[in-house]
Chain A
Amino acid sequence: MKSKLIQKSVTVTVAFVAIVVFSWWLVANPTSDFEESLPGKDNRGKGIVIEENIVIGENFERVTDNFEVLDETWPRFRGADINNISKSPVKLKDNFGAEVPKILWSLDLGEGHSGAAIYKGLVYILDYDEEARSDVLRCHSLTTGEEIWRRWYKVNIKRNHGMARTVPAVTDDFILTIGPRCHTMCVERESGNLLWGIDIEKDYQVEVPMWYTGQCPLIDDGNAIIGLGGTSLMIAVDCRTGDKIWETPNPNGWKMSHSSVVPFTFGGRKMYVYSAIGGLVAVAADGPNAGSVLWEEPAWNHSVIAPSPVCMPDGKIFLTAGYGAGSMVIQLSEENGVFSTKVLDEYAPKDGLACEQQTPIFYDGHLFGILPKDGGALRNQFVCVTPGNTKNVIWSSGKEERFGLGPFFIADNKFFILDDQAVLTILRLSTKEYTKLEQVQVIEDAHDAWAPFALADGFLVLRDSKKMVCIDMRL
């Protein structure tokens, strides 16, 4: 009798415990202490908005009128033909022997990556003066470095991996600049007189790109061509009057990138190709529909784009960007005045030619560029490919010869490459092989030497983040 009672009690207890455990198992949520990662947890805010009354180009100072007039020009980003290939006949050194390159002059600049434009003996730089807290358009003598004049305006810029990072566009008549916060200024080239200014951020509700504006302005047929984002996608402004010639609508809400507008003629039409954040677009450059969109390719959409599109005569366009974006090759076609695009290839940076910051060079049917750090085994190497197969590397600089985010260009049948620490490498120009001719430190203790080169009359102008120098490269 007693044992039956015990047996019954045990059974009831076990059943009760089982029910409790089962109930707990049903009710308990093992993820109850999980925390959702939702947008906004960083408390992103607008910060303290300081209303600034920016008067573009308000100040001017002329120091001297004396400089040596020379013949050649490097009038804008990537040179006269926007291809980073110098047509100068001046023969250049391909080695320095036992000597170090002789620095003709040097100039301390605000932290940044803005390169020089050169026009007949004068060097133009858009700098940010950290003490004066101003965007400054500087004009210096190419042969002596002596300051000729400067025009500046107050604007507050915080340090953010450099400040000024654009190259002025220069013609016989005009100089056009875009400052870190999209302030666009046009002045007379010789006198430095202010013609007009546009606050693009304010007037077109453009979102200033991360790390400030990288787009280098373009002057074409006397018009300033600026890729925007915001309320318009692109504008053309008369350099003389400041009047708006045309304005391209932006129905997709694409944003400004660091990429620069490239003029391109294909299928009998001249167009301006712009790699915006949102997609690639071509705007009619002339004709009755100037300013209207000829074609667009939304498949090319990345959050940070610095290199410009490389447009080739057969209608292939090579597109590349950093931060893991990789590259894309598209084919542009035209039939009866109607343009269409087709994506031929798209790949990760480890799978073929890709560039993070500089624009690849198209020369003699080949493309040349430096792979980014996430470029796999060929990371940071200078490579050569063909546009037909940009994944097949014809030659590379090798694992012992790696570069960084610095510039490269072609002059006098040579490649010139600058690495992050301002070590200049000179190569024989070849589509067959990598042949190093010279490698030499140009700026001591240099850092982030990313600004594009400029070359005219045998004078090579380059810079690191804080100092610009000029070397006499003539034989």
Chain B
Amino acid sequence: MEKKAENRREFIRKSGRLTLGLAIGGLGVLAASRATAGEWVWQIDPFKCNQCGRCATECVLNPSAVKCIHAFDLCGYCDLCGGYLKPDANERSTAAENQLCPTSAIERKFIEEPYFEYVINEELCIGCAKCVKGCTSFGNGSLHLQIMHHICVNCNECSIARVCPSDAIKRVKASEAYQVKGSWSKPL
């Protein structure tokens, strides 16, 4: 009878230790999961993007963390580039009045007749998507938008995603943070 009472005490003691251990372990797991929350980041699916222009205005950062990138392997290197020149531009030149980009963020370089290369100056790009719209409408779609993760502050709720009319912005794994066309490589 006395032996039975000792077993009950031992049982309660062991149960208490186990409960405490589980609680501490659970807290550790919870803390670890909080610490690794950054493994998910926001990104634009370029095939869903409809170039509405809200990426430039809705981001909490100014200028936006959304920038245009260029998939060179998709580009046609055209003289008449729908992403660089305004529709029906007076001439195919680098004059400001012919450029579609409001901040002149696209650099046009002559390669050889009839090819031209177009390079995005990320510092000047505001993510307005005007060039993306032009390239998608008249070219191969090599210009497209991406959220740049060396700029993005990874808000819990992306303010652009809230208003994106085509649901093009979603959480993706940080290990696959860029959803690019062609073979463009993400910036260092």
Whole-angstrom distance between the Cβ of A257 and the nearest chain B Cβ: 13
Q: Contact at A37–B110, with CB atoms within 8 Å? A: no
Q: How far is the CA of A36 from the CA of B86 in the complex (A)?
A: 18
- Of the stretches B10-18, B73-81, B168-176, the one at the interface is B73-81
Q: Contact at A45–B110, with CB atoms within 8 Å? A: yes
Q: Contact at A39–B112, with CB atoms within 8 Å? A: no
Q: Contact at B138–A323, with CB atoms within 8 Å? A: yes
Picked from B82, B133, B136, the residue with its CB within 8 Å of the CB of A323 is: B82
| CB proximity to B under 8 Å, residues A287-326 | 302-304, 322-325
Q: Tell me the dominant secondary structure on chain A's binding face.
A: loop
Q: How many residues of B contact A (CB 8 A)?
A: 29
Q: How far is the CA of A233 from the CA of B11 in the complex (A)?
A: 105
Would you give the 0/1 interface string for B135-155, flagging 1 where the beta carbon is closer than 8 Å to chain A? Answer: 011100000000000000000
- Among residues of B, the one whose C-beta sits closest to the C-beta of A301 is B88
Q: Contact at B88–A210, with CB atoms within 8 Å? A: no
Could you say which residues of chain B place their CB within 8 Å of the CB of A373?
A: 136-138
Whole-angstrom distance between the Cβ of B34 and the nearest chain A Cβ: 44
Q: Contact at B138–A303, with CB atoms within 8 Å? A: no
| CB proximity to B under 8 Å, residues A205-261 | 210-211
Q: Contact at B95–A42, with CB atoms within 8 Å? A: no
Q: Contact at B88–A37, with CB atoms within 8 Å? A: no
If A37-B96, A160-B114, A323-B138 touch, does A43 touch B88 (CB 8 Å cutoff)?
no
The residue in B96, B109, B133, B137 that gathers the most chain A C-beta atoms within 10 A of its C-beta is B137
Whole-angstrom distance between the Cβ of B181 and the nearest chain A Cβ: 16
The residue in A42, A372, A373 that gathers the most chain B C-beta atoms within 10 A of its C-beta is A42
Q: Contact at B87–A39, with CB atoms within 8 Å? A: no
Would you give the 0/1 interface string for B80-110, flagging 1 where the beta carbon is closer than 8 Å to chain A? Answer: 1010001111011111100100001000111
Q: Contact at B88–A42, with CB atoms within 8 Å? A: no
Q: Contact at A158–B114, with CB atoms within 8 Å? A: yes
Picked from A37, A46, A322, the residue with its CB within 8 Å of the CB of B95 is: A37
Picked from B78, B88, B108, B113, the residue with its CB within 8 Å of the CB of A46 is: B113
Is A28 on the interface with B (CB-CB < 8 A)? no
Whole-angstrom distance between the Cβ of B94 and the nearest chain A Cβ: 4
Is B184 on the interface with A (CB-CB < 8 A)? no
Q: Contact at B137–A37, with CB atoms within 8 Å? A: no
Count of A-B contacts judged by CB separation below 8 Å = 75
Q: Contact at A323–B80, with CB atoms within 8 Å? A: yes
Q: How far is the CA of A46 from the CA of B111 in the complex (A)?
A: 10
Is B72 on the interface with A (CB-CB < 8 A)? no
Is B40 on the interface with A (CB-CB < 8 A)? no
Picked from A43, A211, A325, A372, the residue with its CB within 8 Å of the CB of B110 is: A43
Whole-angstrom distance between the Cβ of A355 and the nearest chain B Cβ: 14
Is A48 on the interface with B (CB-CB < 8 A)? yes
Q: How far is the CA of A161 from the CA of B78 in the complex (A)?
A: 9
| CB proximity to B under 8 Å, residues A23-58 | 36-48
Whole-angstrom distance between the Cβ of B110 and the nearest chain A Cβ: 5
Q: How far is the CA of A323 from the CA of B134 in the complex (A)?
A: 9
Q: How far is the CA of A39 from the CA of B78 in the complex (A)?
A: 17
Could you say which residues of chain A place their CB within 8 Å of the CB of B87?
A: 323-325, 374
Q: How far is the CA of A161 from the CA of B76 in the complex (A)?
A: 7
Other 18 A-B pairs with CB < 8 A, given A323-B80, A374-B133: A37-B95, A38-B96, A39-B91, A40-B94, A43-B109, A43-B110, A44-B116, A45-B110, A47-B112, A160-B76, A160-B114, A161-B78, A210-B79, A323-B87, A323-B88, A324-B137, A373-B136, A373-B138
Closest 4 CB pairs of A and B: A324-B87, A47-B113, A37-B96, A39-B93
Interface residues in chain B, defined as those with a beta carbon under 8 Å from any beta carbon in chain A? 76, 78-80, 82, 86-89, 91-96, 99, 104, 108-110, 112-116, 133, 136-138
